[in-house]
Amino acid sequence: MSRKSLQRIALGYCILVLAVAIWFWSRQVQSVIDLLRLAYG
Amino acid sequence: MDVYFFFEWLDNSLLAQMSKAYGGVFAVVQMFHLLSLALLGGTVLIGDLRLLGVMLRDVPSEVVIANTQKWFNIALAGASASGVFMSSAVALKLYGNEMFWAKMTALAAGIVFVYAIRRPLLRGDHGALNPWLVRLLAVTSITIWFTVAASGRWIGFS
């Protein structure tokens, strides 16, 4: 595989991973906030 | 694809019998797991912070990446081997744990990222790469391994 196409794949992979990570961690933080709301109102 | 059979097999394996019966052995393996994680996190941070230009700026990034990669390999092998042993003690419990699957997904994404993308790209001259792509690689790497470690820790609370 050429270096140029590997760079393109890397760009796509990084964007995908970062988008999924942001979604995943925002979901986890939201679940903690919901739990704290349930406990303390 | 249902992999429950694998967890059932692991739960009945010799590894599981050992990890359940000998608390001392489990503790020693857990120590190696934590040491491997510390080494893995250290190599990731040193390499990626160098790529971001935060530290070790007087050392060429090619040298830092080449030197940290071999220790990263050792740390990943150690963490994986000790992780399988530790998982065997609570295999069926882990199967139903959402954070365990999050960790495994992040680990798989990390392995693909390191060996199929990061290492081949950073093997040559880093100056030939787009500097923003190099920074993006570093941020993605830190994000992936943070997710592996944090979701692993979260397993204990979920």
Mean pLDDT of A15-34: 94
pLDDT single digits (tens) B38-51:
999 999 999 999 99
Q: Confidence class of residue A10 from pLDDT cuts 50, 70 and 90?
A: very high
Residue B155: the pLDDT is 85
Residue B22: the pLDDT is 87
Residues B39 and A3: their CA atoms lie apart, in Å, by 30
The answer to whether A36 faces chain B, any CB pair under 8 Å, is no
Interface-testing mutation among B117, B125, B139, with chain A (most A C-beta atoms within 10 A): B117
* Backbone φ/ψ region at B129: left (φ over 0), alpha (ψ -120 to 50), beta: beta
Residues B79 and B67: their CA atoms lie apart, in Å, by 19
ipTM exceeding 0.90, yes/no: no
All residue ranges of chain B with pLDDT < 50 are none
For residues A2 and A20, the model is more confident at A20
Does A28 score more than 70 pLDDT?
yes
Site of tokens 């939201």 = A30
Q: What is the CB-side half-sphere exposure of residue B54 using CA atoms within 13 A?
A: 9
Residue A17: the pLDDT is 97
Full-model pTM: 0.90
Q: Is B69 helix (H, G, I), strand (E, B) or coil?
A: helix
Cα nearest neighbour of B141 on chain A: A14
Does A2 score more than 90 pLDDT?
no
Nearest to B137 among A10, A24, A25 (CB): A10
**Contact: A7, B113; criterion CB under 8 Å:** no
**What is the torsion angle, in degrees rounded to the nearest 10, for the CA atoms of residue B83, residue B84, residue B90 and residue B96?**
90
Residue B1: the pLDDT is 67
Arithmetic mean of pLDDT over chain A: 93
pLDDT single digits (tens) B77-105:
999 999 999 999 889 999 999 999 999 99
